Amino acid sequence: MKLIATFVAATFLTASVALAGMPKTYQVTGPVLEVKPDMVTIQKGKEKWEIALDKETKVTGNLKIGAKVTIQYRMKAASIEAKK
Closest CA to 33 of 49, 17, 46: 49
**Angle at alpha carbon of residue 19, lines to 16 and 20, rounded to 5°:** 85
What's domain 24-74's architecture?
A: Beta Barrel (2.40)
In angstroms, rounded to a whole number, what is the distance separating the alpha carbons of residues 8 and 20? 18
CB atoms within 10 A of CB 48: 12
Q: Give me the tens of pLDDT residue by residue for the chain, a chain 84 residues long.
A: 555 555 555 555 555 545 568 899 999 999 999 999 999 999 999 999 999 999 999 999 999 999 999 999 999 999 999 998
Query: How large is the C-alpha radius of gyration of the chain?
Result: 19
